[in-house]
Amino acid sequence: MTIQGNERTYRTIAVTSGKGGVGKTNLTMNLGVLMAQHGRRILVLDADLGLANLDVILGLKSPYQLHHVIRGEKDILEIVAEGPGGTRIITGGSGILELLELTEAQRETFIGEFWKLGSVADIVLFDTGAGLSSNVLAFLLAADEVVVVATPEPASITDAYATIKVIAQKNRHASLKLIVNMVEAPEEALNVAEKLIQVCQQFLNIKIEYIGYVPRDKNVLQAIRSQQAFTIAFPQTPASRHLGSVAAQLLRSIGEEDEDSKFIGKIRRFFGNAA
């Protein structure tokens, strides 16, 4: 992807889950913090256009959100806010219906705003909504990498597989990665990962990459209650250390990727189909 002027190519990672309550938004934000510690310019975008809660988790009051861009009231760079640990964030707001109701010209203008993000970010993390609405699916199919978050709960595993199945049906070449969250022991995480890897290989004929787990950690809950990133509030707690390994592995895989991001072209096509 070629970007004009001072705007540059950036990589995109969509973080998703089959169901709510698995800690997806919290992990996304803390992944961003850890990646920023490696010297990357990180932007976390709340792509849950209906039930955005990134600002609530962080205790931030952002006057402008993504729906202001959808309406044509703000340039996308005007709504970028400072996040924890040197990250930047864009909060979502309730713009899902407005996006679907845009004319073709308005939608093209909105999608064109994404070109500008390369001037402030090397990596954009999309915190998508749970479930598979057309707008969520558009971000998942357009992103360079998709990280699926699951917990050891049977319902979470089942829903994670259903999400992977839909993505694979639309794009068999999607780069799919798995994080197991809220784990009591390493063996529990490995068991979840092996189950998902096996069924995806057997029934979908695709490979997913297990990139690590995050243990259940009382300090994570404490950080959430105080509206802080746990990787900043408790950098040496087990959850921070394990997520740090996940972040490093993600950065290595991005560094090995030679092909430029095709995000803009793909998000234009998939949002067009959604509308």
Q: How would you write 117-138 as a 3-class SS string?
A: HHHCCCEEEEECCCCCCHHHHH
In this structure, are residues 179 and 192 in contact, taking their beta carbons and an 8 Å threshold? no
Give me the domains of the chain, ranges plus CATH numbers: 11-255 (3.40.50.300)
What are the backbone angles phi and psi of residue 163, rounded to the nearest 5°? -65, -45
Q: Which residue has the tokens 């920023």?
A: 36
pTM of the model: 0.90
Query: Which parts of the chain fold into alpha helices (H)?
Result: 24-36, 54-58, 66-70, 96-101, 104-112, 134-142, 154-170, 186-199, 218-225, 230-233, 238-255, 263-274
Tens-digit pLDDT string for the chain (275 aa): 333 334 458 999 999 998 788 999 999 999 999 999 999 999 999 887 655 577 777 777 778 888 788 778 899 999 999 999 999 999 876 545 566 566 777 777 778 888 899 999 999 999 987 667 777 788 899 999 999 999 999 999 999 999 999 999 998 889 999 999 999 999 999 999 999 999 999 999 999 999 999 999 999 999 999 999 999 999 999 999 999 999 999 999 876 554 566 787 787 777 665 44
Q: How many whole angstroms separate alpha carbon 54 and alpha carbon 60?
A: 8
